[in-house]
Structure 1
Amino acid sequence: MRRVVFSPQLDAQVVNQYTRLSVDPGSSSTLIFWKLDSAIEGIFVNGNSVPISVFQGLLACYIGGIMVEMAEIGNLQQLISVSCPRLLGSLVFDHAIILTRPMPPIDNTHEAIARARGRQFWVHPINMLREEHGHIGQLYEELRQYPEKFYNFTRMPMEAFDKLVDILGPYIQRQNTRMRQAITAKDRLLITLRFLATGESFASLHLQFRVGKSTISGIVRSTCRVIWEYLQPISMPSPTQETWLQAAAGFQSVANFPNCIGAVDGKHVRVQQPPASGSLYFNYKKYFSVVLMAVADASYKFLAIDVGAYGGTGDSRVLMTSQFGREVLLNQATLPPPRPLPGTTRPVPFVLVSDEAFPLMTNLLRPYPQRGLDARRRVFNMRLSRARRFVECTFGIMAGKWRVFTSAMQLDEATVDSVIKAACVLHNFVRDYESSPDLGLETHEALDDSTVNWGSGRPSNRAVLVRETFTDYFMSPEGALPRQFGQPQ
């Protein structure tokens, strides 16, 4: 505490510079008050200056910036008698004066707060013109007049976008405050979709939408999490027996592969090397990635996905450690019971189809090795490839629609996972509004590499028997296709 001493003879001009707080004369019940907007400079009692330290107990809360304190005169007398006994003899309580100097007014303007935070502007002048010149204010309303342009901008039809706003709006809308108007749910969704559709940097989107870079970063992160949380139960629910049976009917109708409940494959999503990760994310293609493992049906939609495995992890291990891999292939909890192939009587298990990167299992078929193929095995590989291509085409459609997959994501690991999951569930959501498969976008580069053996151990005899059963069926009159023998269909 600093000491401020005033002359016993107070000059009227000096006193007028202060705010005089009178003390009611009386006994020990008299109260002393002081204001929060005033800084106590000194205390004058009967012509004698009293050090501020004497009143430390009374002023501590105020000096700490907390609420108004009150002190009884009786307590004041006791405090002075201990700290300044020389004043006690001449102390008269009905002539006490507290002198205060008014505090400078607090600047609560946006610019003052920005300066206090080390920023030049509270809101950059470019961002202040968001409604007049940004994509949100002008371009969006113009695009709604041209459905094709709107589709190219958001990568979905207008009715799909409007439905998405209705579903997610309550969960991504923020509250308006006295400081600023919140970015609406529609605008937050529009920014996120544009990021997924182009893969542009936040700095680029900042200039297009006239929204701060850090704000865009937060919008993309939070909106992707909300998309997965609230859209996944609608567009990608956990598979049930009914789901698998519907998928099997689709493969039977489109790919002529009975008892096939899905095509499984993985996709390496290129990312920037995470800090202190070593070679965990470095894959055999010589770049850093995380693995998207997925099961697709014959309508080019995802049935189940697993995201986040290290790029250096083998496909079979990623599949077996994933949730749907454990449930479907190991526990077989949701799989339908075996049923005969069309035209036969012997029950055959339902299966997933895959490439050489995966092991042969009872419910997971992979092609025969390329060496020493006879006619039977060559036909089986061809029929398996017809069914397996659906997952590769699904990856291609998704990567063609959401161009964020075409370059390395400059995001942290958790946000990368959220972006991938959001893109997958949005892919399923938009597929319900599209009439054609749209396969001309780009093809997916499969994960398999003939020089790498990703298999794990020798297949079981039952797994070998299941594959042989399908091989014989595709050569039988009940399951053969004219095209497989080089004849017109």
Structure 2
Amino acid sequence: MSLTQDEVMAVGIVIALNEKKRKRSKWTKDWLLKRDQISHTNLMKELKLDPDEWRNYMRMDESTYVELLNMVTPFITCKDTVMRKSISPHERLIATLRFLATGRSLQDLSFSAVMGTSTLSKIIPETCVAIYKVLKKDYLKFPATEKEWKTVGEQFEFRWNFPHCLGAVDGKHVWITPPSESGSYYWNYKGYNSLVLMAVVNANYEFIMADIGTNGRVSDGGVIDNTEFGKRLKDEKLCIPHESVTATSNCVLPYVFVGDEAFALRTDFLKPYSQKDLHSEKRVFNYRLSRARRVAENAFGIMASRFRIFHTCINLKLTSIDKVVMACVVLHNYLRKACPSDYSPEDCFHREDRISKMILPGLTADPNYLAGLQHGQGSRNYPEIAKVVRDRFKDYFVNAGAVAWQKDFI
């Protein structure tokens, strides 16, 4: 007896429902039950005998790792159940750090961590939240008073001969897999989907502010207006000190942030002179500004080289990407203080060879995976008072604040 088309479809639906009701024959895969025997936690025990390999594997020395583990343990500890043993904080932290350090896919990482991809997709964001929570207070401090801002300015003047600089501002595109049906919303000028990481960096290559979340389509300096920092700067709510005499001269200068050509010129934000019609004094200013703002480029470069997740397309939910990126930011600052010689040795930084009169580049952000913001096209009509402030700094750099070698690099 032949069945009608409707009867065939009905039979198919019944079969499908019966298949769905079938119980799984196993709670989990056999090899996942052997995590204690075959995961990379056993490799960690062997690496303790070779500190150099430990540092290469974990991006930090053992004592720093133990300190970090102790801090996050209360926030990532789960209880055992009658069904199975929970994944320890040690295993959770190792898996997360290896994900950040290597940029491997969850599928690939699951074999060395001996955890399912669905488990990792939950554990990694949770652990990143814990890392950010325990480190943010001490390692991502945004100045809140005039005194704290002046301390930042003193560091820039001491290290980079740029007085009253409150921070180097820069933004980078972080490569992501966009949400479905998002169209070109995250598509940037480099030709891939991204979120923008905006940051302010101090004279010691440490982030003092970071903001992730603006879609990559907003690809010029206007992206700063979407950050809390940009809004507070515009509304004059950052407690920026009033202009005062510099530490090494009788010149009175305002306090400013510095950035590259992507940003708008303001009385509290300096950018280079346009490459058109540059004369000697403007070249000196551009060189001195470049010395100060390159700390931001270097900070991004060091972070990206240590956490290779920035060299891949991050294939997570947008909320999870935010957590991953901010965890990397605070880890960068933490490791810069806890083990600077291991995390960021001297060859990481740009240097000036005053014999050859060349600038030796350190680590900079990879243009293919952590690209800078798009520079504005053509000239802009900036307020005259902003141009006056820039000219005041220019006059300072070619007179009272001149350094002996500056003309060798212009």
Considering fraction of residues, name the structure with more helix.
2
Structure 1 residues 53-452: aligned runs within 5 Å: 119-136=24-41, 138-241=42-145, 242-436=147-341, 437-438=344-345, 439-440=347-348, 442-444=363-365, 445=367, 447-449=372-374, 452=376
Question: Measured at CA, do residues 409 and 376 of structure 1 come closer, stay the same or move farther in structure 2, by a change above 3 Å?
Answer: same
For residues 321 and 22 of structure 2, the distance between their equivalents in structure 1, rounded to whole angstroms, comes to 30
Q: Give deviations 1:29-60, integer Å, cap 9, x for gaps.
A: xxxxxxxxxxxxxxxxxxxxxxxxxxxxxxxx
In structure 1, the residue matched to 2:396 is 473
Q: Give deviations 1:205-255, integer Å, cap 9, x for gaps.
A: 111111111111110111112222332112102322343222212211111
Question: Measured at CA, do residues 378 and 180 of structure 1 come closer, stay the same or move farther in structure 2, by a change above 3 Å?
Answer: same
- Shift of residue 265 of structure 1? 0.5
Question: Measured at CA, do residues 199 and 118 of structure 1 come closer, stay the same or move farther in structure 2, by a change above 3 Å?
Answer: farther
For residues 300 and 190 of structure 2, the distance between their equivalents in structure 1, rounded to whole angstroms, comes to 18
For residues 378 and 231 of structure 2, the distance between their equivalents in structure 1, rounded to whole angstroms, comes to 18
1:192–1:223 contact (8 Å) kept in structure 2: yes
In structure 2, the residue matched to 1:461 is 384
For residues 486 and 407 of structure 1, the distance between their equivalents in structure 2, rounded to whole angstroms, comes to 39
TM-score (norm 2): 0.85
Three-state SS of the structure 1 residue aligned to 2:372 is coil
Consecutive unaligned residues of structure 2, counting only runs of 5 or more, are 1-19, 349-361
1:157–1:433 contact (8 Å) kept in structure 2: no
For residues 429 and 443 of structure 1, the distance between their equivalents in structure 2, rounded to whole angstroms, comes to 20
For residues 403 and 314 of structure 1, the distance between their equivalents in structure 2, rounded to whole angstroms, comes to 23
1:353–1:388 contact (8 Å) kept in structure 2: yes
For residues 454 and 190 of structure 1, the distance between their equivalents in structure 2, rounded to whole angstroms, comes to 48
- Shift of residue 177 of structure 1? 1.2
TM-score (norm 1): 0.72
1:355–1:367 contact (8 Å) kept in structure 2: yes
Q: Give deviations 1:353-380, integer Å, cap 9, x for gaps.
A: 1000000011100000001001110110
Which letter maps to 2:316? L
Q: Give deviations 1:396-451, integer Å, cap 9, x for gaps.
A: 0000000000011111111111111111011111111223443447312462555x
Which letter maps to 1:486? D
- Stretches of 4+ aligned residues off by more than 6 angstroms: none
For residues 274 and 246 of structure 1, the distance between their equivalents in structure 2, rounded to whole angstroms, comes to 42
- Shift of residue 116 of structure 1? 6.4
1:247–1:261 contact (8 Å) kept in structure 2: yes
Consecutive unaligned residues of structure 1, counting only runs of 5 or more, are 1-114
In structure 2, the residue matched to 1:28 is none
- Shift of residue 301 of structure 1? 0.6
In structure 2, the residue matched to 1:482 is 404
Three-state SS of the structure 1 residue aligned to 2:211 is strand
Q: Give deviations 1:332-391, integer Å, cap 9, x for gaps.
A: 432222222244445322111100000001110000000100111011001111111100
1:356–1:448 contact (8 Å) kept in structure 2: no
- Shift of residue 278 of structure 1? 1.4
1:295–1:302 contact (8 Å) kept in structure 2: yes
2:251–2:396 contact (8 Å) kept in structure 1: no
How many correspondences in the alignment? Answer: 369
Which letter maps to 1:223? T
- Shift of residue 319 of structure 1? 1.0
- Shift of residue 330 of structure 1? 3.0
In structure 1, the residue matched to 2:16 is none
1:329–1:363 contact (8 Å) kept in structure 2: no
2:220–2:374 contact (8 Å) kept in structure 1: no
2:221–2:374 contact (8 Å) kept in structure 1: no
2:259–2:293 contact (8 Å) kept in structure 1: yes
Question: Measured at CA, do residues 332 and 179 of structure 1 come closer, stay the same or move farther in structure 2, by a change above 3 Å?
Answer: same
When the two chains are superposed, the root-mean-square deviation of aligned CA atoms in Å is 2.0
Which letter maps to 1:288? N
Question: Measured at CA, do residues 121 and 311 of structure 1 come closer, stay the same or move farther in structure 2, by a change above 3 Å?
Answer: same
Question: Measured at CA, do residues 223 and 194 of structure 1 come closer, stay the same or move farther in structure 2, by a change above 3 Å?
Answer: same
For residues 158 and 398 of structure 1, the distance between their equivalents in structure 2, rounded to whole angstroms, comes to 20
For residues 447 and 141 of structure 1, the distance between their equivalents in structure 2, rounded to whole angstroms, comes to 40
> Percent of aligned pairs with the same residue?
37
Three-state SS of the structure 1 residue aligned to 2:195 is strand
